Amino acid sequence: MRRLLVASLLVLCAGLPGVSRAAGKPKILFMPGVADPFYFTMEKGIKAKAAEIGADLTVAEYPKSWGPDAQVPILQAAIAAGKYDLLLIAPTSTDALKAPLKGIYDKGVEIITVDTFIGDGDYSKPSDYNFPLSYIGSDNELGGKQMAQQLAKLVGGKGKVFVEATNPDASSVQGRVKGFKAGAAESGLQLVGVEWCQDVQQKAQEQTLAALQKDKDIVGIFGTNVFSAQGSYQAVVNAGLTGAVKIASWDATKELIGALKKGQVDLVLAQKPAEMGSLAVDWGVKYLKDKKGVKVPKKVIPGFEFFTKANVDDPKMQQFIYQ
Amino acid sequence: MSPWAAAPAGATTDPSGGFLSWRVGRAVARNWAACFLLAMLVVFSFTGRNFLSFVNFQNVVHLQTLPLLLAAAETFVIITGGIDLSIGFVAGLASVTAAKLMQLLLSAGLQGGGVIALGTAGALLLSLLPGLVNGLVITRFKVPPFIATLGMWGIANGVALKLCQGFPVADLPGALPRIGNGYLLYLLPGRFVSFLDRPVDFPEARIREVWRIIPFSLPFVLLVLGSLAFLLRRGRFGRHTYAIGGSMDAAIRAGIDVDGHLVRIYVLASALAGLAGVFNVFQTGIGNYTTFSSMYELFAVAAVVIGGASLSGGKGRILGSAVGVLVLAFLENGLAISGVQPFYRYILVGVLLVVAVVIDKLFPDLF
């Protein structure tokens, strides 16, 4: 009797996790970076794909502010509350998320970083952060560079430009600013300043107005995310300079597209958050089903689309608006 | 409660008998924030190209409308010895509600002015509610204001995010930002003078040369702040506010309806926050939820303290708080125009705040 009990316990212990994993749907946890339209749109992409291929999706609480101090406790609590096979996460720090993610990975959860990455985002070389399956997100530096080139075309290839950025500690934002700097220099634009609004539109407005005051002949402004782009175009409206100062904005929210139609914004770069999310689910689940056979690319870059006044009503472009 | 703050502000006597130098010194210390503001304006005029300009000052004040209203709200609460942490998110909630209401009315087929008026009125009405809850929780259940309003801080934000799903609320009447960013006078020397709106034959090519004088926001904010200052300085409402902050017990013994008054104070604060949020819709043309990194409420508290109020209650002035808002705004604006790196500015704003409280502690009886 006792032997039977021990034996059945052993079977239970050894068998249960394996059985539930093999037979059940793959369990996915999505850990967004911060509560904003970009990640809400990504969640839609993830949800749709998960429903399509029959994966069991949990969305962790949206952190209220950007940063590991807000994100890590939510992540730990979510991981402790359920058993997951795959974690899709937008790490809010290139360094501070390395250790928590390694801990989760060591418990047997596969990880894909979406939109942002840990380390330098290159998981193909030996390092202490190469354990994620893949980084699926934008090449922000390339986007920043293309933005500068497009803006240069709009302003005639010369003049002063200004960058209204958001958080100085996010890999994505750093990349955009870096790329824009390089692109501006190559295209003959003179960069007169970079400001950080920390996702506060009111701050972005104040900072842009100060910049417009300091350099009265600014011809173009690059807003690096929703809040900075909205704040900077509104500052131009406040200053009565609509049309005289061209606004290039990152992220295609409905509001920014509306502003583009009204001529308040001149250039909108659309990332593909829904596609990022969808690709992450797709690759992750493929890998879980056949760990030996499937080789996941270490970097997947969905690319960008540029909205201008000329193509904003094009039916093919509408799918790239975040909603 | 601080013992020296038991009397209403302005009732202190001059202990030294009125030497001229002492009087000047006292006047400076009493109004150190205003003096600091003036000194700052002078310094930045030298260090910052284009800082000293009518257009810049006008822009700064125009953009400070929301912080000015929030600081006024916080002034009333802080004078009673309380604090209201929810005003930033109540402003965001009002902004989103006004925008959502306008969207609904538009989709119901209404047009123009009615949509704006109803949306505005609805959001203002709703913004009384958080204050009422705050006030009742604080007075009926004796929950400290810090905790009660921290609760509302989360609730207001959650409701706002739920309403707008984390997206700014767009597609509102185009007249909104034209009103919110309109000016009384448009002037292009030698070409045109136009009241209330840009002339029809506006020369787009010379857009940078047009003078725009007195934004609508200025008379609006002066009217609101003026009425509030009047409410606080004259009559019973103000006297009771100072009395409660000076000493709650004394106020109760004097027969003041302390609980009722506190509820009215929190409702007033929340209504002003609502007004700030609705103004934000006019200024930006969209409904904006307040992001967590905004910290509007904390900067409002900072402005009120810089303006000479004490967190232990009993003193504070609307004008002082307005000066506090402008000190923070011009510090940021002046440093930016002078080309100081962003991160140094955070440090300087922090230092300034500590200095304000140190002055308050060193010269308590000067105010």
| Secondary structure, 3-state, chain B | CCHHHCCCCCCCCCCCCCCHHHHHHHHHHHCHHHHHHHHHHHHHHHHCCCCCCHHHHHHHHHHCHHHHHHHHHHHHHHHCCCCCCCHHHHHHHHHHHHHHHHHHHHHCCCCHHHHHHHHHHHHHHHCHHHHHHHHHHHHHCCCCHHHHHHHHHHHHHHHHHHHHCCCCECCCCCHHHHHHCCEEEEEECCCEEEECCCCCCCCHHHHHHCEEEEECHHHHHHHHHHHHHHHHHCHHHHHHHHHHHHCHHHHHHCCCCHHHHHHHHHHHHHHHHHHHHHHHHHHHCCECCCCHHHCHHHHHHHHHHHCCCCCCCCCCCHHHHHHHHHHHHHHHHHHHHCCCCHHHHHHHHHHHHHHHHHHHHHCHHHC
According to the model, what pLDDT value does residue A36 have? 83
Q: pLDDT digit string (tens) for B215-241?
A: 999 999 999 999 999 999 988 999 999
Helix (H, G, I), strand (E, B) or coil at A185: helix
- Taking the CA of residue A299 and the nearest CA in chain B, the distance in Å comes to 29
According to the model, what pLDDT value does residue B6 have? 41
CATH of domain B28-165+216-362: 1.10.3470
- B185 phi and psi angles, rounded to 5 deg: -140, 130
Same domain, A265 and A162: yes
Q: Do B171 and A258 touch (CB under 8 A)?
A: yes
- Pick the more confident residue, B348 or B265: B265
Q: Rounded to 10 degrees, what is the CA torsion of A166, A29, B162, B217? A: 0
Q: What are the distances in angstroms from CA B323 to CA B51, B220, B326?
A: 18, 17, 5
In a domain, residue A182? The reply is yes
Q: Is A238 on the interface with B (CB under 8 A)?
A: yes
Q: pLDDT digit string (tens) for B83-140?
A: 999 999 999 999 999 999 999 999 998 887 899 999 999 999 999 999 999 999 999 9
Give the pair of three-digit tokens for residue B148. 């009660």
Q: Do B167 and A254 touch (CB under 8 A)?
A: yes
Q: Confirm if B278 and B118 have CB atoms less than 8 A apart.
A: no
Q: Is A36 on the interface with B (CB under 8 A)?
A: yes
Residue B225: what residue type?
L
In a domain, residue A316? The reply is no
Q: What are the distances in angstroms from CA B225 to CA B70, B160, B318?
A: 11, 27, 7
From the candidates B52, B57, B63, B87, which should be mutated to test the interface with A, based on the most A CB atoms within 10 A? Answer: B63
Secondary structure letter of residue A24 according to DSSP? S
Residue B366 pLDDT greater than 60, yes or no: no
In a domain, residue A7? The reply is no
According to the model, what pLDDT value does residue B350 have? 86
Where residue B192 falls (left for φ over 0; alpha for ψ -120 to 50; beta otherwise) is beta
Q: Is A210 on the interface with B (CB under 8 A)?
A: yes
Same domain, A65 and A184: no
Give the mean pLDDT of chain B: 87
Range B322-345 average pLDDT: 90
Instruction: Pick the residue from chain A with its C-alpha nearest to B290.
Output: A200
Q: Do A210 and B177 touch (CB under 8 A)?
A: no
According to the model, what pLDDT value does residue B11 have? 43
Same domain, A166 and A265: yes
B292 pLDDT band (50/70/90 cuts)?
A: confident
In a domain, residue A311? The reply is no
Q: pLDDT digit string (tens) for B305-316?
A: 989 888 889 989
Same domain, A245 and A147: yes
Same domain, A98 and A170: no
Give the pair of three-digit tokens for residue A208. 């842009």
DSSP string across A54-81: T-EEEEPPPPSSSSHHHHHHHHHHHHHH
- Pick the more confident residue, A18 or B44: B44
Across the interface, of A64, A168, A239, the residue whose CB is closest to B59 is A239
Q: Do B50 and A214 touch (CB under 8 A)?
A: yes
Range B345-357 average pLDDT: 82
In a domain, residue A323? The reply is no
Residues of chain A with pLDDT under 50: 11-13, 15-23
Give the range of the structural domain holding residue A48, as residue numbers without chain letter: 22-138+273-302
Instruction: Pick the residue from chain A with its C-alpha nearest to B48.
Output: A214
Of B338, B220, A275, the C-alpha closest to B228 is B220
**If contacts are CB pairs under 8 Å, which of residues 256-275 in chain A contact chain B?**
258, 262
- Chain centre to alpha carbon of residue B128: 17
Domain boundaries, chain B: 28-165+216-362
d(CA B367, CA B362): 11
Q: Is A241 on the interface with B (CB under 8 A)?
A: yes
Instruction: Pick the residue from chain A with its C-alpha nearest to B158.
Output: A64
Pairing of strands A56-59, A27-31: parallel
Q: pLDDT digit string (tens) for A269-281?
A: 999 999 999 999 9
Range B251-272 average pLDDT: 95
Q: Confirm if A104 and A77 have CB atoms less than 8 A apart.
A: no
d(CA A188, CA B339): 22
- Taking the CA of residue B260 and the nearest CA in chain A, the distance in Å comes to 35
From the candidates B171, B294, B332, which should be mutated to test the interface with A, based on the most A CB atoms within 10 A? Answer: B294
What CATH code is carried by the domain that includes residue A217?
3.40.50.2300
In a domain, residue A186? The reply is yes
Range B323-334 average pLDDT: 92
Give the pair of three-digit tokens for residue A151. 């803006």
B19 pLDDT band (50/70/90 cuts)?
A: low
Q: How many domains does chain A have?
A: 2
Q: pLDDT digit string (tens) for A220-263?
A: 999 998 889 989 998 998 888 888 899 999 988 888 898 899 88
- Taking the CA of residue A251 and the nearest CA in chain B, the distance in Å comes to 12
Taking only Cα atoms into account, the Rg of chain B, rounded to an integer number of angstroms, comes to 22
